[in-house]
Amino acid sequence: MADFNKLKTESYNEKTANIDKMSALEIVKCINDEDKTVAFAVEKALNEIAAAVDLLADTLKNGGRIFYAGAGTSGRLGILDASECPPTYGVSPDTVQGIIAGGPQAAFYSVEDAEDDFESIVAQLKERNFCGKDVLVAISASGSANCVKGAIDFAKKQGSKTVCLSCNKNSDLVPMCDIAIIAEVGPEVINGSTRMKAGTAQKMILNMLSTGAMVRFGRVRGNFMAYMIPSNKKLIDRAIRIIAAKTGVSYERAKEELEKANNVIADAIDNIEKETT
């Protein structure tokens, strides 16, 4: 069993000891001051994050999939990041998947004991035919979640590469994974409430991982979402503006080309560029 007293995420925050006696403004200032430290903690892990970006991009190029796995807040953040990839980058929902201990219902309702179940995530990986071509990103603020350890163990047995994302440098996950991303944000404003600074750090890093991987995978033109799915009025307008900005044609011409390309922005750009060369 992990010695939780040694985990920074479980440690006591003296700066917020009297938060229960603070005014509303004092509380939010206190939280804001603590949040300001998160980006600096993430900055220290940029080399490992970059290595993971390359690994994830290579996985996609070789026909593999990305799986995020975690419990509680960590699992929910993985699901959130995965769910944003199809509309933003036009990839299949199978390409990036988020799995949470306790099953899909745990995304909405707390299933805290699932964290201790070594097989909780493994069973879901098996259901999704996780294989050696895929990569596992294990997310655990404390780095002690048994469900995540089980997932890593299973992934390694399939011959898969593994990445861990934790907020404790002495995380149990570090020696288990090919790449260990550690953003040690220190004690939380409310002691042990890792949905706060640890969760913010995890969200920032997941943004980097998915964005970096999709850029390296070729799902971006310049800094435009050229494979975005224009599924509502705002996104259709954005798609037209992307085409116009990338090719220099008028808004009206860009709209026509988007319709001709069946709403695939990248194809519309390619068709215009072919005509002008």
- Per the annotation, the verdict on 184 as an active-site residue is no
Which of 10, 115, 188, 257 is labelled catalytic?
115
Torsion of CA 164, 92, 111, 114, to 10 degrees: -50
- Per the annotation, the verdict on 256 as an active-site residue is no
d(CA 118, CA 126): 14
Q: Radius of gyration of the chain from Cα atoms?
A: 21
Name residue 140's beta-bridge partners: none
* Exposed e or buried b per residue across 240-268, where buried means at least 16 C-beta atoms within 10 angstroms of its C-beta: bebbbebbebeeebbbebbeebebbbbbb
Taking alpha carbons only, the member of 32, 5, 54 closest to residue 161 is: 54
| Residues annotated as catalytic (active site), given as ranges | 84, 115
